[in-house]
Amino acid sequence: MTLHRQLVVLVSMVLLTLLAGVFWLSIHNSRDLLERQLHVHAQDTANSLGLSVTVPLAKGDKALLDSMVGAIFQSGYYSEITLRDAQGKIVAVQREHKPRNVAPMWFIHALSIDPTPGLSEISHEWKVIGKLSVLPDAQIAYTELWRSAQHALWLFLGVGAAGLLLLWLILDIALRPLRLIERQAEAICQRDFSSQLPMPRARELQRVMIAMNRMTRQLKSLFDGQVAQIEQVRNQAFIDPVTGLGNGRFFSAQLQSRLESPEEPFVGALAKFELQGMREYNQRYGHEAGNWLLKQAGKLWRQEIEKVENAVVARVVGARFAALLPYVDKTQAQERTAAFLKVLSQLDTFVQSQVGLRGCVGVALCQVGRSLLEESTGVLEAEADAALKRAILAPAGAESVQLFDPSGGAVNLIERPPGVEDWESFLRATIERRELTFHYQPVLACEDRSLLHYEVLSRIKLGEQVLAAGMFMPLMERYHLVQSLDRMVVSTVLEKLTLLAPDQRVGVAVNLSSHSIREPGFVEWLLGCVGQHVAVVPHLIFEVPEVSVRTAHGRLKTLAEGLKRMGGRLTIDHFGSTNSSFGYLSGLPLYSIKIDQSYIRDIAENLDNQFFVQSLVRIAHSRQIFLTAETVETQSQWDLLRRFQLDGAQGYFLGKPAEINLLSA
């Protein structure tokens, strides 16, 4: 029971006891007063009637006596009037034969009234000639006492109810700071240090609030220091200090890991941009002005290129920038880079510069299957460099975007297999008929290699050929089918989990695209859908790419908080693949973060990656966030991750995706 309720119950009992005592005393005092009033009234009647019957009694006029006694009896509330002579013989008597019981019998028994009769001696010529006894009617007293008790009861009940309500409100206001302290303590346990408590009126609670706020600020400062430390390590190793973009090392790691990824092989374009004339610009205007120009160019490069989903941008060296544009074809790559050059040429620095500044872009395309070839990284970069060289050597006024396309024809994202006449119709039909199959890759605990959960991976079967998600997702993006795919996968997994017996259910991670998170209505649909399957919610984990933190932070927070209320979990996938600040870790109620494969691929040889992962372990565990790694392919990687005390990992070394009967009905 809460302190609020305990205080309400305690004070209510005291108040009710007090009211009950006052009520009981009031009724008893009223009864005593009525008894005295009955006796006084009876005595007055006896005295008055005694004087009136003196002469008739002395004369023995019985008829007159009966008449007089009867008249008095009928005019008042009496139970009995008895007139006796000197010898005690009854001369006249009147009695009430029909009791008038208005009050209930239990009330009469509980508050019995014993009225005292009024007595009077009748004297004539100094002799006592008779006695008169007047007994008042107690029923009138019971009736009056019953009515008074009812009125008093309703009054006390009203006062009691009003008092209890006022007490509830007063205690609610007085104890509200304690609830705020409880919430803040819970937030601190979740490593959320954003809230500061308002000052209450009570001086004692003010001191508590001040101490809690001071502790929260200190813990926030400590956590921010940890985040700043790991960001500093990341920035020194992978961030260009001038533009804030990834550096050449970061870009090479991203390119290598994406091309070598067995599940999400890179498909799209590699673009390289060089700002010609920077040497002359630096000589004329100074390096500070040159750095400012590079910063502006990098800002525009990022703004335009990141309009492509999951794009990677970097300044690789000098005045040369690079970008990975996933899921774009020849036309889209040319349009996006040409749009960048147009915006760049409109900078005041370009217009007003007295040196020949010129932007040149070279683009190389990567099809499905090519990323699995040996030395594809070097080949792809060489093609982009060759295209960039052609753009640089082109005469002024010529096309500034050059595409490496030795065939001279269009380059498709994926070759159409036999039996598929139209990709868009085929994919729409596949989603509508739910003809995708699921493979499941285990995520194992680093401590004892036990199963934590499975990650659901979508597949499309084309005869004997099986297409991984990384092979058909470019087409899903092109035909705007990503949200439909995510809805279908979520609905199917929920239905299959529901059909399983409770003791057969295991944790299942479902990937959501950042495109779906940004779409209006998707988060609301997802929370509503999950809310209809509350029995399986604790077994659900939703994974979203880190880019969603920057592109849809508000919707992502709504999703994370909604899942937490229902018992679901949210994971940030590809953590570290963008240049986003890690400060969002203190604002999102996350279950886990999954380190991007670019930090795992060469972790055995790369000391910077090792330090980055170790620092991330400390931060994640201090926030009670699960930390896992993806694409673990070797024993040395696995041994290091275990030594660094990560919580879990997945990869082909630990378990390949397989079509198992885990979720079959």
Residues 485/486/488/490 CA torsion (nearest 10 deg): 160
Helices and strands, counts by H and E, the chain: 21, 18
Q: What is the mean pLDDT of residues 297-326?
A: 92
| Selection from 631, 612, 529, 511 nearest residue 571 by Cα | 511
Res 223 pLDDT > 50 = yes
Could you tell me the residue ranges of all domains in the chain? 3-161, 245-404, 423-649
Res 60 pLDDT > 90 = no
Q: Which pairs count as long-range contacts for 209-218, CB under 8 Å and 24+ apart, including other chains?
A: 209/177, 209/180, 209/181, 212/181, 212/184, 212/185, 215/188, 216/184, 216/188, 217/193
Q: Could you tell me if 156 and 162 are in contact, meaning their C-beta atoms sit under 8 angstroms apart?
A: no
> Residues near 658 by Cβ (< 8 Å), separated by ≥ 6?
439, 440, 441
Domain 3-161 is in which class? alpha beta
Structure tokens at 91: 């001369």
Q: Could you tell me if 326 and 474 are in contact, meaning their C-beta atoms sit under 8 angstroms apart?
A: yes
Q: Where residue 200 falls among pLDDT bands split at 50, 70, 90? A: low
Res 298 pLDDT > 90 = yes
Percentage of the chain modeled with pLDDT above 90: 33
Least confident of 120-124, 631-635, 650-654: 120-124
Least confident of 142-151, 369-378, 558-567: 369-378
Name the helix (H) or strand (E) containing 523.
helix 522-531
DSSP per-residue string spanning 171-228: HHHHHHHHHHHHHHHHHHHTT-----PPPPSSHHHHHHHHHHHHHHHHHHHHHHHHHH
pTM: predicted TM-score of the whole model, two decimal places = 0.70
Distance CA 420, CA 201 (A): 73
Mean pLDDT of the chain: 84
Sign of CA dihedral 50, 53, 54, 57: negative
Distance CA 230, CA 233 (A): 5
Res 375 pLDDT > 50 = no
DSSP per-residue string spanning 76-119: S-EEEEEEEETTS-EEEEEE--S----S-HHHHHHT---PPPEE
Q: What is the mean pLDDT of residues 279-305?
A: 91
DSSP per-residue string spanning 323-339: EEEET--HHHHHHHHHH
Strand partners, 626: 592
pLDDT tens-digit map of 450-503: 999 999 999 988 777 788 887 788 788 888 899 999 999 999 999 989 988 888
**Strand 592-595 with 569-575, pairing:** parallel
Sheet strand arrangement including 118-124: 90-95, 78-85, 127-136, 118-124
pLDDT tens-digit map of 322-344: 999 988 888 889 999 999 999 99
Helix (H, G, I), strand (E, B) or coil at 504: helix
Q: What is the pLDDT of residue 665?
A: 38
Q: What is the pLDDT of residue 397?
A: 62
Give the residue carrying structure tokens 């120009």. Answer: 293
| Selection from 357, 361, 338, 341 nearest residue 349 by Cα | 357
Distance CA 264, CA 154 (A): 76
What are the backbone angles phi and psi of residue 435, rounded to the nearest 5°? -95, 10
Name the helix (H) or strand (E) containing 281.
helix 278-285
Range with the largest mean pLDDT of 107-121, 426-440, 460-474: 426-440
| Selection from 267, 540, 227, 483 nearest residue 380 by Cα | 267
Q: What is the pLDDT of residue 569?
A: 95
Distance CA 417, CA 369 (A): 13
Q: Where is pLDDT greater, at 78 or 256? A: 256
Distance CA 562, CA 523 (A): 9
Strand partners, 44: none
pLDDT tens-digit map of 93-105: 888 765 566 678 7
Q: Where is pLDDT greater, at 461 or 537? A: 537
Give CATH superfamily name and number for 245-404.
Reverse transcriptase/Diguanylate cyclase domain (3.30.70.270)
Sign of CA dihedral 465, 471, 477, 482: positive
* Amino acid at site 507: G
pLDDT tens-digit map of 595-632: 999 999 889 999 889 988 998 898 888 888 999 999 99
CA distances from 569 to 325, 438, 446, 494, 546 (A): 30, 21, 20, 14, 15
Structure tokens at 525: 């649909």
Angle at alpha carbon of residue 181, lines to 180 and 183, rounded to 5°:
65
Res 448 pLDDT > 50 = yes
Q: What is the pLDDT of residue 410?
A: 45
Q: What is the mean pLDDT of residues 215-220?
A: 76
Least confident of 38-52, 243-257, 359-373, 517-531: 359-373
| Selection from 455, 453, 420 nearest residue 435 by Cα | 420
Name the helix (H) or strand (E) containing 383.
helix 376-393
Q: What is the mean pLDDT of residues 573-594?
A: 84
Sign of CA dihedral 432, 434, 435, 439: positive
| Selection from 315, 316, 362 nearest residue 341 by Cα | 362
Q: What is the pLDDT of residue 663?
A: 47
| Selection from 148, 168, 184 nearest residue 23 by Cα | 148
**Radius of gyration in angstroms for the set of CA atoms belonging to the chain, rounded to a whole number:** 46
Domain 423-649 is in which class? alpha beta
Structure tokens at 596: 């991007």
Q: Where residue 406 falls among pLDDT bands split at 50, 70, 90? A: low
Neighbour-count burial of 634, counting CB atoms closer than 10 A to its CB (0-12 exposed, 13-18 middle, 19+ buried): middle
Name the helix (H) or strand (E) containing 617.
helix 607-622
Q: Where residue 193 falls among pLDDT bands split at 50, 70, 90? A: low
Least confident of 149-158, 338-347, 442-451, 535-544: 149-158
